[in-house]
Structures are given as C-alpha cells and as structure tokens.
Structure 1
Amino acid sequence: MNTDSQNTAKNAVEKDDDEIDLMALLFAILRGWKIIVFFAVLGLIIGVLYSRYVNPTYKSDALIQVEEKSQGISALGSDISELIGSEVSKAQTETELIRSRMILEPVVNLLHLRIQLSDPNIGALYKIKSSNIDTQINKPEGVSLKTEDGEVEVSQFNVSQNYLNQPFTLTRSATGFVLSNGFDDFKGQLGKAHQFRGTDGQIHITVNDLPADGYAVNITKQSLQTTTDRVNSALSVVEKGKQTGIIQLSMTGNNQQQTSLILKRIVLSYIDQNQSRGSEETTKTIAFMETQIPTLKKKLEDSEAIFNDFRKKYGTIDVGKEAELLLGENSQIDVQLNELKLKKADLTTYYTDEHPLVVQINDQLAVLNARKQEIDNTIAGLPEIQREFLQLSADTTINREIYLTLLKNYEQLKIVKAGQIGFARVIDLPISTFRAIAPKKLQIMILAMLLGAMLGTMLVLLKNMLRNVVKDPERLEMKTGIPVIATIPRSALLTRLRKNKKSQNRLLAHADNNSLSYEAIKSLRTNLMFGMTTVGKVGQRAKVILIAGESPGVGKSFISSNLTEVFSQLDKKVLIIDADMRLGELHKMFNMTQDNGLGDYLAQQIALTTVIHPTTLDNIDFIPRGQHPHNPSSLLSGDKFEQMMTELNEHYDYIVIDSPPILAASDAMIMSHYADKVLMVTRYDQSIEGQVAYAVKQMNKANVQVDGIILNDVQQGLMSKYSYHYSYAYGNKQS
C-alpha cells in the first residue's frame, strides 16, 4: 500500500450515538411513507369489512322509580300500620334483585329464550356481503328464524339434563322433519307435538315450519344458568344519580323489537314480584283473621247465652264499687292479652320463638297474666252469686271487645289490600327507536385507518432502528473513522434503463453524461489524482486503486467501471480487473464475456496477454474474472498474482481492481497489499452502518488501511435529510 496514505486515520469508533435525532426520525418516517400508507389503507379495508361483518346493535331503555317506603297501610291509621309494619328498600338492592333468576326466569320461560336457533349456512363472506343478518325472534308462541330457503318455527323444545347445551340439527323431510344430534335421528311431523327417547334422555319438540328440503338449521336447548347469564350480559341496571331512587334499565341486542320485548317483560316481571311482595304480609294477616273470626264469634255467642241464662235465673245483681273497678281492670287486661296474642301469632309466621320481638311479647304476657291471677284471687272472696255474675259479665264483655276489634281490623285490611301497590312503579317502558348504536362505521374506519398508520409508523421506525442503514456521511465517518471522499447521486436515467431486463448495462459516459452522478465520479477522480501525486513502489509506474465493499449489491462494479472511464479521458493507459472470480459481472459493463480472465490465468499455464482484452473505449483494457476456480483466495496469495501485478505496472498508468465483498471473502485483504489506494463502496439507505464499521475493522486487523469511503446511490429529495451533499452542480443537467 502507498506510504502516502493518510497516517492520521483513526480506528473505528465503537460507541453508539446516544442522542436522539428528532429530525432524523421525522425524515425516516417520511421516507417510509409508502409503508405507512399501505398499512393505513389495509387498516381502512379491515375496518370497512369489520363494520359490514358485525350485525347492527340496538338499545332499549326503561325507567323504574323505587320509593323509600310504602304509604298504603300507614295511611289508614297507626293501629293497622303497627300490625303490618313498614318496608324500606334501597335502589341499589333492587338493581341486584332485577338481575336475579327470580325475575329473569319467568321471562325466559315465557319467551322461550332457552331455545337457540342458528343458520350454519351463513359464512363470513355472506356476513360481509349482507350488512344485516336475520336473527331469531322469541315470542310467547315460540321461536322463529328466517333463512334464505324459508322460515324455522319451533313452539316447544324441552330436553333432559344430559341434552342441555348440546347442538341438534333440524332438517325438513318428505314426511315432516328429522332431528339429529350426530348419533340419533328422530323423525316427526310438522305441527304436532312429539316425544322422543334418546340415549341420554327424553326430548319434547313441536316444529311448525322448516326451510326447503336439505336446508339444515341448528337448534340448542340452553340451561337456565347459561340463558340468564346471556341475558345479564346484555342487560344494564344502574341507579341514575345518587340516592334518586330512579333505576335505569338498558338492554342491547341485534334486533330492536326483540330487545324491547325482552326488556319490557323483565320490567313487568319485576313489578309483579314487587307488588306481590308488598301485599304478601297483608294477605297472610287477612288469612289468619279469617280463621279466628268464626271461633271468636262462637265464643262470644256462648258467653252471652250463659250470661243471659244466669240473669234470668237470679235477676239483676248490684255490684260494689270495688268489684266494678276490679272488673274494669280485668277487662282491660284481657283485651291487652288478646292483642298481644294476636301480635304474637302474626310474628310467629315469620320468626321463631327466640326472636327478640317474640320474647318481649312473652314477657308482657307473663306480667299481665300475673296481675290477672291476683285480681281473680280478690274476686274469689266475693259472695258466690255476685262473683259468678261478675265472671259471666266479664267474659261476655271481653269476648265482645275481642270480636269487634278483630272484625274491624279485618274489614280495614280488606280495603288496604284492594288498593295496595308495591313500592316500585314504572316511569318509562322500553320503546323501539330502530337506531343502531353499533357498529359506528365511520368511527371504526377512521380508528382502523389510524391504527394501521400507527402500525406502519412503528414498523418504519423499528426497521430504521434495527437496520440503521447508511444515510449520513458525517455519522458514517464517526462510526468508522474513515473519511467519506465522495457521494455519488443516483442517476435517474440509468435507473430507468436498468429496469428493462433486456437493456444492456451502460456507462454514465454513454447513458447520462450530463448528470450529477457523472460529475461526482469526475470529482472522485480528481480527489484520487491529488492523493496519489508521489511515485509508488520501486519500479512501479501504475497507480493501483482497489475498489471493495462490505457486502454484495453496493455498486462496486458501477464505481469501478465509471472511474476507469473518467481516468481514460486523461489520455492515460488504464486497466480494470474483475477480481471477483466467484460472482463478478464487470464484463457486462463492457459488453464482453467472462472467458479468458483472471481465474484462468492464475489456475492455468497461459500467457498474461491472453487474458487482457481491449475494450471499445480508448485507453482502457479489461481482464474479466474468467472461469470460477475452486480456491480463489489461495491463487491470489501465490507468486503468480504478484508477478502479474509487477508486469502490469510497467504497461499502465492506472489499474482499477474490482474486488469481492470484504465480509464475504478475504480476497480484498490480500489484494490490498498491492494497491496504492483502498476504497470502500457503500450504498445509501441500504448498507448497514454496523456492517460497514465491521468491514473496516476486519481490514484494520489485517494491517490494511482503508483510505476512503464512497457513498453510492444517494437519493436527492425533500425527504432526504442529507441531500445538501450534492444539491449543487455546474453545467447542463438535462438527462
């Protein structure tokens, strides 16, 4: 290698640049606009297909007011309200109650919601083609589903436990229908109830109508839990605001009328349960009174008869003041005892004897009974006739008071029950608006397009981060420690010509001699001329330039051939050697064959003059790669290659060697010892910085100093941050 090579070149810089270049990221995104647009359009297409694939979703709403307490009984007086009590309900508790099976099960049974019909003939393409697919309709009369070949109508379908949640297939036959589960086939007639016995239990079914022959329909009987869970998943029950007592019920589904019907039935089921709950206590109390009234009436009649007989026998008896007081107190005690017994009988219908209210009443009864016993002992001291009169009179009075009190309360409770309502009332029943709430097609398409664009942007940035391609000459110099001595713009005209596979490879001098690319090659020639002003090795006339690259496809042959052409314009004798004996294609640039080349000379005993071929260009000779030898590196390391270079130095002013890629073979390291300048070609926006730096490092390990880097195929444009490297050119730019 020439001793005049730059001695100040530094080793490759190993550390990465940690600073984030926002402009570089922006330009990287702009350069990848095709990928971003592709994914945005792909997202838009997916959004359109999804919006057509999904059935429209409709919503129905209802409002219920829950009052804090019932006013029905308390409005009639404190006595009755004390007997019945009051009930307090919070809206939050009622929201959970509405979701319970107690409310939902009557709706499920009424509308046959456990029966599920589906059309297996509807595929994804059909859903996309048709924006709205018919869904099953549940009514008290049965379940129906429209298909392309007719309608399915089933009014009854009950199965045993083992058949629950198992799919069956219904198919019309010549005589009726066939019900199959894959193991058993059950045949029946349309419009008639049938009972079948299968391996897992009994099946009760009534089929009213089916599509045309051969059109199968799936039918399934779901379990109650599965159905209520499905209803709950579509049902929303919340309290509007805080402590308002207003409950909002919302339900979504694929059929507006069906959704409104189910929600309406849920509201009515809740109201019925609430009303029956509110009057349950009154009903039980009336029933208890109806059993007691005849008994008390008979007891009163018996006591009056005995008292009247006594008075007829003994006449009127004057009772003393003390006896009257005792009688009055005894009467009051008996009335209180009967009232307490009535309350106790009512409480024991709901609570056990250990309940605090029952225990409290028992204590009160014990106190009253003790006082009554004391009065009875006092009255026992009165004369026999007088005492008997008092006893009969007291019995009659007590029985009359008890009977009249119970009869009064009974009539009042009948009036209360007639006008009693629950503590919940319907404000708004659901109505059908026929306005779909989903899918929101425009929103889905915009969101899908934005997500696609975001994915495309992420892929562009990820690709930029992972590949870290060569784009910035300054950054490349910092990474490798080698100066970038030339940036070669892309020739638009030559690029268009290369797209035609039948077109032959052409030099810039012939295809685009007014381009920036050609001027850049000339600038590279000037740089090399001033860099090789001193005389080379002893006995050496020619100045040897080795053109290498880190990997294939970077444009070594393009640079080598065009650099040779511009050197020939100096009226200098130039030789270009295709030293890539494996895959070299430099012969195509000169419209020649690869025969009789370097590989043949090194592997065979032939004269050097037989492998040197003149070209159609003045002052340019060419040595093609020849036939592929089995050991190119060994041949280059031999004495024959050294003798060849010595002999060639005597006949040429410049020798350009196009070598194999550095990372693919060690040939470039061997030939670089015969070169005055070692240049590395790298391709803009394609070569990877890490590979270029590694190639330079490998050359340095072989004691080879790379003198400069040529950045090839640089593309100019608004999206290229570093287009200023070749934004000015002198002369005619017409292509």
Structure 2
Amino acid sequence: MPSSDKNSNNADAVHGHPLIKADEPAIDLVKLALKNVVILGIAAVAGIGLGIFAYKILGPKYTASSQILVKLKNPVEIREGGNRVIVGERSAHVEIIRSPKVVERAVRDSHLDQLATLAGSTEPARDIIDSLKVTRTAGEDHHQLNILNLQYTTSKSKDATAILNGIIKAYDDYLKDDAQKNHSELQTLLEQINNDLSPRLAAKTKEYHEFRRSAPLVWKAPAGADKGPNNVTNIHHQRVDAIATERVKVELLYEEISSRLSTLKAAIERGESHEALMLLVKTFLQKDQTSNSQTVVSGATERQQLDSQLIPLLLEEQTALKRYGSGHPDVINVRKRIDLVKSYYRQMGIDLPTMTTKVNPVTGEPELVTGNDPIATYVVALEQQQAELKNRIGELQKLFDRSADQAKDFAQYEEREQTLSDELKRIKSLHDIVANRVEVLSLASDEGYQLTQISPSRAEPDIKHVIKIVGGCLVMTLMSTYAFLFLREMRDTSLKSLADLRAIVDTPILGTLPSIANPAKNLQAARETGLAPMLYYYHDPGSPEAEACRSVRATFFVRAADVDAHIIQFTSSEPGDGKTTTISNLAISIAQAGKRVLLIDADLRKPMVHQLFGMREEIGLSECLSGEIEMANAVQDSRIENLDILSAGSIPAKPAELLSSSKLHYLLGQAKREYDFVLVDSPPVLAVSDPCITAQSVDTVMLIVRLHKNRRPSVKRALEIFEAHEIPLLGVIANGLQDGSGDYQYRGGYGGGYDKKSPYQQTNDMPEFLAPTQAVIPS
C-alpha cells in the first residue's frame, strides 16, 4: 500500500513548481494570416468585385488640366540691400487662384452654377475649390516668370473643361483689376506726399536749423551731414578736462612738498647734525635740477621758482664763508646774487623765506626773526609752498565744480540736437521711400501681371478615381475580414496545437497521440478477438497510432523512473477527451514491453474499460472496496500477456464515499507489490471529485488533453485543482483526435442518475465498437 506521506523527493520532482504558466499565449498575426490565407484571398476577390460594382454605381470621373504662364508685363527692378531683385512671390498665385474671391467671380462671370454638375449645389464656389488643384511646375520665388498647372475633377468632361476655363478667365480679370488698383495707389501716394510728408519734412528741417543757430554749441559738420565722434565742440567740456589735468599736477606737487617737509622736520627732531641736514637739502635740490624742474613738476608758482634759486645761493654762501671768510671775493659775489634774488621777492610782493617767528619768553608774543640759515630758510620755503599749493587745490576744485555744472547744462543741448536730428532722418527716410515708390509706379504705367494660357484645357478619365474606389473596397474588405478572424481567434480558446498546450502548461508533455486514420480496418480483428477496434496497439502494432503510443511509452518509462512512480492515475479535464482509450492502449504497450501491468477502472460512474476488453462488469473494484470479494478473485485476464484488468464492477449509489475508504489504499498497495505498473482510470477532474479522492492513494497523476476540443480555461482549471489538492502531476499526453461525434457522453452528467445500460448505441444487436462506423475515442 502506498504510504500516505509519499517520498518528498518524488513530490518535489513532480510538482515542485507551478503547473500553469502565468502569461497567456499571444496571437501571432502573421501565422493567423497564413492560416486563413484562403479566406483572405476570397475576401480580396470579394473586395475587388465590390469596388468594381461601386465604381459602376458612382460613375466615372474626369480630370481637366491646363497650364498658364504668369509674368510681369514691365518688370522694374527694386533692389533690396543692393543685391537681390524682388518682383513678387509665385506662391501667392497658387493661393489667389484657389481663393473664394477668384472662384466666385468665375461662377458669376461664366455662369458655372448652371452646369449639370453644379446645378443642385448651394455653394458652387466651395465645391469648385474642393476639387480644384493648383501646382507650381516652373519658376522660383521672386521670379518674373511662373508656370502653374491647374486641374479640376468632376463627373462630366465638358463641365470640367468649362469650369477650368472659367477660373483661368476670372484670374486673368483679377490681375488686370489689380494693375488698375496700383495706378490708384500712385495717385493716393502723390496726394500723401503733397499733403503730409513734404510739409512735415520742411517744418522739421526749419526747426532743426533754428535750434543749431541758437544753441551755444559749435558743430564741425554741417546740418544733415553724417556726424563723427567729435562733431560738437563744447568749451565747458574742454575746460573741465583742463582743470582736472591741472588739479592733478598741483596735487602731485603738494604731495611732493609735504613729503620733503616731513622728512626734513623728522631729521631735525632726531637731532641730526648741521652737515647732515645740509646734505639732505642739497639732495632735494639736486633732484629738482636733474628733472629739469625748478621744484617737482612743471607749472610751479613764482614763490617756488624764487625759492629754488635762493636756497642754493644760501648754501653756497655758507660753504664760501667757512672756506674763505666774509671778505673773500667769492663770498661777496654770492651775497650780491642773493641780494638780487631777494629784490625779486620784494618786486613781486612775496615774503622772504628767511623771515621766521619765535615766541618771546618774556611777553609770550611771536616775534619776527631774520637770518641766513639755509636749512631754516628751506623749511620755511617748503611750508610757504605747501600752504600756497593747498589754497590752489581748493580754488581748482571750486572752478572744476562750476565748469562741470556748465558742461551738464550744455549736454542737454546735445541731446536735443540728437533728437531733432533723428526725427528729421525718419521723416526724410519715409519721404525717400514714398518718392522712390512713386517713381517706380510712374515708370511702370503698364504695370502688373500678364496671364497666358500655354496649354488648352483637356479632360481625361481619372484613373485615380478607379484606384481609390476599388482599392478602398479591397482594403476595407481585407481589414474587416482580418478583424473578424482576429476576434474569432481571441474568442476561440480551444487548444489547436501542441504549441498552444505548451503555452499554458508548465509541466512535461509526454507526447501526442494522433487521430485514428482508419478505425474500420480493425473491425474484423475485433470480431475475432472480442477486443474493441479502438485498441489499435493490439490489432495493428505497425500503425502510426501504435508507433506514437510507443513513443509516449518511452517517455513514460523515463518520467516514472525519475519520480519512482508505479501507481499512475489517468484523468482528463472533461468527458470525451479519449482518456480510457489512451490508458488502455498504453497499458497494452507497457505489457508487451515485458512489464506486468494491472489496469484498474476506477470510474465508478461511467466505466468503459470492460467494454473495450470484452469482459464482465458484475465483479470488480466496487465489490473489492465493499469487501464482497478479494482483489485476486476480481482481477480478470485480458488475454494479453502481462496485462490484467480490474473492472469497475457494479455502479454504487455513492461512488465518492466508496473511493474514500481506507480499503483503496490497501488494495493499491497490494497491487503495487504484485505488478510493475498499476494504471488507474478515473473520471474527468472537472466533472466530479472522484479523481481528487483517488489521487491521494496513487504515486502520481497523468493528465489527458484532447486537442481541438479542450479549451484553455478548462485545462487551466484542472491544473489549478491539482495544485490546490497538492496532487503530483507526472505529465500530459495530448490526443490529436478531432471531436466530431460527441457520442461519448455521461447521461445526465456525473452528478445525476445513472443507467447501467452500455453507453454504446446498439446497431443490429452489435456493440458500437464492433460496428463499421466512424471512430470514437471513449474516455
């Protein structure tokens, strides 16, 4: 008896992963088309026929075509930037010809609304525009010559030609009217010049000249001429620049004097010797002489110039006194020169630098002290120069501020002059443009475009109309047919091929058993042996069906050995899937391979195995489970070596309860010890719960799927039941038989009442499997 806790390795090997693939198979559009190529071909022929029929009903179309040449009568070149000649846009001709203005004029002047094709139209101009086509066949933008191609399509050839000629005439009249309008524009422009531009230009010119005469500015260029960067002479601007330059010079000189004075006073405070001080003074004086300046920079005052002459003479006098004495001619000569310089001081009213002051210790008042000490004299001279330069800087700053304010005031005159000049230029530019346009229009008195019809209007049958109708019907029919096939394919969930089965089943497929090509050939053998003709493996072991069964047997042996399975239950998702025929032929092939096989019919509702093998049905599994008989006495010999049969026996009132008894475990365990393989036939898993009950006592389960009959939802539902009950699945066998008869049915279904009468229909008192009728695979 198989153990209730089956070998875990076997279970993992059989159902260690989901049995159902997650993704539904996608529809291959190319394969769908190739599979239905005949239907699509018929649809194509029907579409072409429908198109020809529609063309005959709608009638033919005629297309009238003509060419026109549009060019300027007397082109006058107007150069843009001096490089390009502009004479008009040719693209404008296309839009104007198709405009409602021109088409309505054609309808009115040529009475096109009275034509047969437009007689019932409420908007003939709009209808003409919809069928009118204008293309540009020659010429370029801004070109004198333009060739345009006009086409019009309608149901009557004469109407097409008349409408096209009317449009060409209407556009010719439009061009002539446009030329006349240009002459009116000339008159308007002349009046505008006389009444507006010329007086405005004269008034603005007068205002500009009067401003230039009254403004306190000096212009280098005459009025109206191009201005340079320094056209205006503003004296205040020049004065501000000059004052700023002078102030910089004085500030530099002030800093130089202050630096010398600070250096000399610092040396005196440190108590430097008289000789050292004399040397420092000489150094400053030599520096002035080296730079060719009496002091520091050019532009020195009279005091600075006199001080620069007096101090060196005092130094020379000191040197001569020490060397020669006061009576020496050199000393006398130096003193005369000193007196001469001092006389210049007095003439110019400048105080001598040798005059200094000291505080009287008795009165506390400052007293004037005179002397010829060159060092003290140089210090006094520097202090006087410093004071004078400081005053001068202050005066220059005041002068700079006044001049800057005056320069800003004069800048307003410059801005006003620029504004007047710009306004005058704008008015003059507009005047020149208008005058130039007037000149052009005057020269082109016969201005405008000239239209010439270079190709007469000619109407021909419109081939495109035929192609559109026939092609449209063809495409519409093909698309509709293909859409129908696609929708039918989406709704059709049947498994039509092994690929469809592989797309949803994630478990090994052991093989496919083909449909029986000629089941009637086994009738004679069936009469002699008592075995049903559907047992093709026994009657015709060389047939393609038997060969396919051997292939399934080989795969079956490998899978069973992998999972160590000996008790295998066979079931299907629905009735009529060929389950019983498949297990019976596979049992024969395994027995003939030398394996001892016991075939048990566990379908206690609609048993079929005893009919296939021609055995009694009164004693079988039902009696064994109820304890009425032992299995050894109930097993029947199939007359096939190594194959024994345990039929279902009498049909019990409650099959599910009988299969749920522990007796089934004992019975199957006993059979496993006596036989190499025990094959159990059970009802469809979607019909009743019996297969799920029986599966708890077997090693594994084999699922039979019938192609072209079973649908994806039913197979998936069966696999879901296996997963929910943790039933190990050995694999799937696909029957390739077409379900054409539907004879095998469970009367009233698996859940209703049952009749013990054989489900085979009787013909001349002979079971159906012995009658020469079409092949049916019972389940």
Structure with higher Rg: it is 2
Q: TM-score, normalised by structure 2?
A: 0.46
Q: TM-score, normalised by structure 1?
A: 0.48
